[in-house]
Amino acid sequence: MSRLKAGNPAEKQRYEKILSAIHRVMADPIHPQFRKDLPQNYKAADVLGQYRLFFRIVPAAQATDVKADVVHFVWVNDEESIHRSGEPGDCYQVFLDKVLRGEIDEYTPDPLPQNERFRLHDDWGSSFVYVSFRRTIDGEEQHADSHLKLNQIASGSYLIDYVTVSKENIGLASSLLARLGESVDSHGIKLTYELESNDRNFGKVRHLLEKFHFELDDIIESVEIWIRRADRKRIG
């Protein structure tokens, strides 16, 4: 994945499509489109026709670090094993061989479950940075998640592409932005957010931006451009 992010335009496009496939799977991992005739209940998501993202749903009883089923992504093929149905080197056959040889890692539960978990999935300096935040609620019986994707627009500068929350009105976006703010301040990163006037959450989003040190920089037609500049004085 890291090679694709830093690769040529075609490889970067594939990386984007893989991220999109991950989001499709997370939205409905049991959808019939992912069912394949694969051993051990493995499934696969289509990526650009020639590539497949393989995964398996780990039941909550086996995922001892959480109280819900886990989607465990295990492998995505490359240009040396593109999908050619029935031909040698087809990605499905390569994957099956890996399973038989024990080369596919099993899901390993986190040893110490925590009430809140913030994760930066990519390094600053990458073309794309994916951020997630999870909170345990209702006595560890449920989880609520928030996700954010950043696109690099210049060295040390990122545009917030989207923010999603699985449960509204419990402060997920606030917690995610607070933790993200700590990271960008410590690494000297500037953030940009483009807020459209027809956004159904316009007022709420504006409040969050102001709360977490974004400043209105410009207005282009019906879009407000908000900037957050890093400030090490905020750290700690």
Residue 185 predicted with pLDDT over 60: yes
Backbone angles phi, psi at 191, to 5 degrees: -115, 145
Residues of the chain with pLDDT > 90, as a percent, come to 36
Cα radius of gyration (the chain)? 20
Confidence of residue 112 (pLDDT cuts 50, 70, 90): very low
Task: For residue 110, tell me if it sits in a domain.
Answer: no
Task: For residue 145, tell me if it sits in a domain.
Answer: yes
What's the mean per-residue pLDDT of the chain?
Answer: 84
What's residue 110's pLDDT? 56
Task: For residue 87, tell me if it sits in a domain.
Answer: yes
Residues 71 and 124 in one domain: no
In terms of Cα–Cα distance, which of 182, 181, 164 is closest to 173? Answer: 164
Residue 64 predicted with pLDDT over 70: no
Give the model confidence (pLDDT) of 127-168 as tens digits.
999 999 888 766 555 677 889 999 999 999 999 999 998 887
CA 47 – CA 81 distance, rounded (Å): 13
Confidence of residue 229 (pLDDT cuts 50, 70, 90): very high
Where does 88-212 have alpha helices with state H? 91-100, 172-187, 202-211
Residue 113 predicted with pLDDT over 50: no
Residues 221 and 122 in one domain: yes
Which domain-ending residue is among 100, 127, 142?
100
Residues 182 and 225 in one domain: yes
Residues of the chain with pLDDT > 70, as a percent, come to 87
Q: What is the count of structural domains for the chain?
A: 2
Residues 130 and 225 in one domain: yes
At 194, which amino acid appears?
Answer: E
Residue 114 predicted with pLDDT over 60: no
Contact 44, 52 (CB under 8 A): yes
* HSE-CB for 36 with a 13 A CA cutoff: 20
Give the residue carrying structure tokens 């001892």: 64
What's residue 67's pLDDT? 53
In terms of Cα–Cα distance, which of 136, 146, 138 is closest to 115? Answer: 136
Range of the domain at 204: 116-234
Residues 88 and 155 in one domain: no
Task: For residue 108, tell me if it sits in a domain.
Answer: no
Angle at 92 between CA 86 and CA 96, to 5 degrees: 115
109-137 in b/e form (b: 16+ CB < 10 A) is eeeeeeeebbebebebebbbbbbbbbbbe
